[in-house]
Every structure is written in C-alpha cells, then in structure tokens.
Structure 1
Amino acid sequence: MTKKAWIQERLDEGLVFLKGNVRGKCFIEYIPAEYAWVPIEADGYMYIDCLWVSGQFKGQGYSTLLLEECIRDSKAKAKKGLVILSSQKKRGFLSDPKYMKYKGFERADAAAPYFELLYLPFAQNADQPCFKKAVKTQNSLPEGFVLYYTDQCPFTAKYVPLLEKMAQERHAKLQTVHIRTKEDAQNAPSPFTTFSLFYNGELVTHEILSEKKFDKILADKGL
C-alpha cells in the first residue's frame, strides 16, 4: 500500500493532512488519538502524526502556522488537547522536543530507550495521556532481529525488502511484522510503529535504514 492510499483510508476516521502553500515538504498530519497508529491511551485528544517543515523553510514561521491551525481545528472539534511523539533529545523522524516544549507541550509519559509522549492540554483538568503497557514489555520479543513497520511512510516499501534480502544473504535471523491495522499498531511494542528494529528484545533504531546503515548494524552484531 502506498502512503497516499494509507492516508485515503484514514480520512473517514478524521485524519487531516494540511500542507503549506510552498513547493517542498511543509505539512502537518493529525488524527483523533483513538484512531492513531500508536500504542497510547489518549482518548479525546488529537494526535499529531507528523509535523514536517523542510530546512529550506526554516525560520519563516511555517511550523507555527501549521501548529496553530491544528490547535484551532482541534478546539473546534472539542478535543482535550494535542499529543505528539518525541524523544529526550532531537532525533530523526520524531518531533523536536525543544521546539514542542517552547510551544507549551509537556511530558506526559516516557518509554525506553528514549521516547517521550508530549501533550498540550486545552484545559487544566484534562486527563494525562500515557503509553500502553505493550510498550513496557519489550522483553517478550523473540530472539534475533524483529522489524515492525507500517505503510505510513513511503520509504518502508522501498527499504524493507532490501533489508530482508540482506539479512538472508548474511544468514541473520530477521522477522518482519507488517502492521496493517490500527488495532495491531495500538498494541505494538514500540511507540514508533512506522519503523522499529529490535534485536533480542531491545530497540536498535526507529530510523528507517538504508542498506549501508543496516550493514553496519549487522557487522556490530558479528553477522
């Protein structure tokens, strides 16, 4: 399934894809948290899947404009607030914690090894979101490499088959789990369901791997 098809299937669930009026990556994507493909408890909130403003537009206020529109729309839909996945320090494919906290977001919960769930409540008495228990029990995963991924990012369709081929050639045990429903995503062992690679029950990376990067990981494991 393509990214475009994935989005199309989510529209009836309330997903909004809002793009800046520029040529390049400048958009925000959000959905009611009950339908988000992440293992969180955040009923009544709006979950931001992605807030991406390309470096060429840095400092021009696009992130603020997109976030403000998301806030306005979410309040109009009587949401309790916003939720977004971040980390202890800035990492690829996750929201920048420094920027989000500057915009008023607070830490609601944390998960190993570095994930943080940030939220922006619209009222002081709003429930505090949290990660589901599945995220805290990663040690139940099988031995070897286990890769969880969805169709939410267009790069997974390209790289997952390449990683499978590499693992086979190197005689490395790799199990791939293609998450196809929100129910499975909401019970996944990693907060970042788009792409998460585990080895012997521990998260190796959530960043989508090229062949070169996976080769280094295999070498580090003696494979």
Structure 2
Amino acid sequence: MEIITVTKKNIGSEHICCAISNDNDCQVSAKKTWLAERFDDGLVFKKGDVRGKCFIEYIPAENAWAPVEADGYMYINCFWVSGQYKGQGNSSLLLDECIRDSKAKNKKGLVILSSDKKRAFLSDPKYLVHKGFEEIDSVDPFFKLFYLPFEKDSEKPGFKDSLKESLKKTNSDDGFVLYYSHQCPFTAKYVPLIEEVAREKNVPFKSVRFQSREEAQSAPTPFTSYSLFLNDNFVTNEILSVKKFENILSEYGF
C-alpha cells in the first residue's frame, strides 16, 4: 500500500472521510474544511491509497484541539485502520511514517488519547502498549493519555490542570450538554439530528461546538470531538444516532 499525504493542493480530490463514500456528503465537506484550516498549524493527514478507513492524523501538540500539556510532542488526533485493511501491516506502516516524520521535525515523541480498554472512537490501549507507548496520565471516567518518547529523558506530557479541575464539577442542573467539533466528520450529520430529538421531546439540551484550538484546549473533556454530559456528569463519547440518543433519554428517565 502506498501512503498519500493530504495537503491543500490535493484535499479536493482525495477521499479522507472514514466510512463515508459520498464525497458530496455534508460530513465530508465539514471535515475537509476543518482540515484545510489546520494545515498552517502543522497538521498532517496521511492515508493509504484506498477509499476506506486507513489513515493517521496528527498535529504539533501546542496546536492540538485537546486540553494537554505536551510542548514539543506530536499529538495524534485520529488513527484508524479497519475493515479489509486490518491485519496486513498497514497500522504499523502509518505509525512508522508518523514517527519518521515527527523525528524529522525534531519532536520529542508522540502523544495520543486512549482509554482503559478498547472503546469507540478511541485508540486501542493494548495496541498502543504493543507499539511501545506508555500511559502517562488519566482523568475520569476512563480516559488515558499515552506517550511514546523518542529520548528517555524527554519531558513528560499530561492533561492540563484546567481539565482536571473542570471535571470536579457536580450536581449541575444544566441538563444535557454536548461538546463537539468538526474534527470528526460524523458530528456534522448526527449532532443536528439529536438536537432535533431534544427539541421535540422538550429535553434540556445545549450543544457547544469548539471552533478554535483555544476553545478546545480549555474544554472540560479530553475528547473534544464529541462528549456528552448530563448535569456535569460524563455520559458518552460515542457519536450517537437518533436511536442511541433515544435509548439514553429513556435510560435517564426523559
């Protein structure tokens, strides 16, 4: 498999959006716009020369849309190899390319968000450990920060103190609050759908879209692509369909 680096010049013609095959889909346009606006911040998007889930996306941690302290590191936004492209060495191919590129840019290492076990939309911690990553920090309910230092004496990264303080809030009566960005293309389609469900059912619901790295770096959640809270308590980072959101409403008595 050949690796293609997506740039401002070829983003219009390259397939970049996960399982979304229709390039005219609103999700594709939202993601491509988000990417195009980040390239000047050092964002890199590398993919296999296929139309499918086989890519890695990373950015200098200072510009990451995440509440982390990791100056000098490269932050991996998303790393996804799935379906027919698994089990063929493609994950190693993409990760090795990320490491090579990051070392060439004199980075201290890599940082990536994961969890206590394999969960939707987060990198598999078992795979990360297998590739030499170490857990370096954690916040409730299950988020883990992993890093791969290039030198043994590299300064260790971590979550921002502001994140840890914001997660201590409890007993709010704000109802549902959804924090999200267009870093993940699926939000462009599914956020409006569940907003409409909340309106129809008269459920207290507010959505907060991060539109700058400064906003995302001050977020009350480490997963700024999509995090749903109820009265300050974390509910899920899984991007919800209408059916799944209705199930959550039923579970919480709405």
Report the TM range for the smaller structure's normalisation: over 0.9
Matched pairs, number: 223
Tell me, yes or no, if the aligned pair for 1:139 and 1:202 is still in contact at 8 Å: no
Q: Offset at 1:133?
A: 2.1
CA offsets 1:50-80 (integer angstroms, 9 cap, x no match) = 1111221111000000000000000010000
Q: Is structure 2 residue 232 aligned with structure 1 residue 201?
A: yes
TM-score (norm 2): 0.85
Quick one: which amino acid aligns to residue 134 of structure 2? E
Candidates 180, 199, 203, aligned match of 1:172: 203
Residue 212 (structure 1) aligns with: 243
Tell me, yes or no, if the aligned pair for 1:109 and 1:116 is still in contact at 8 Å: yes
CA offsets 1:139-181 (integer angstroms, 9 cap, x no match) = 4374210000101111111111111111111121001101100
> 1 CA distance for matches of 2:221 and 2:161?
10
Residue 130 (structure 1) aligns with: 158
Quick one: which amino acid aligns to residue 190 of structure 1? T
> 2 CA distance for matches of 1:50 and 1:20?
14
Range with greater deviation from structure 2 (37-46 or 141-150):
141-150
Q: What is the correspondence of 1:28-107 to structure 2 with a 5 Å cutoff? A: 28-107=56-135
Tell me, yes or no, if the aligned pair for 1:149 and 1:193 is still in contact at 8 Å: yes
SS at match of 1:216: helix
Residue 13 (structure 1) aligns with: 41
Q: Is structure 2 residue 209 aligned with structure 1 residue 181?
A: no
* Structure 2: gaps (5+ residues): 1-28
Residue 253 (structure 2) aligns with: 222
SS at match of 2:215: helix
Range with greater deviation from structure 2 (98-107 or 168-177):
168-177
SS at match of 2:84: helix
Q: Offset at 1:138?
A: 2.3
TM-score (norm 1): 0.97
SS at match of 1:116: strand
Range with greater deviation from structure 2 (155-164 or 65-74):
155-164
SS at match of 2:97: helix
> 1 CA distance for matches of 2:168 and 2:188?
27
> 2 CA distance for matches of 1:5 and 1:212?
28
Q: Offset at 1:42?
A: 0.3
* Structure 1: gaps (5+ residues): none
Tell me, yes or no, if the aligned pair for 1:83 and 1:117 is still in contact at 8 Å: yes
Runs of 4+ in 1 over 3 A off after TM superposition: 139-142
RMSD, aligned α-carbons: 1.1
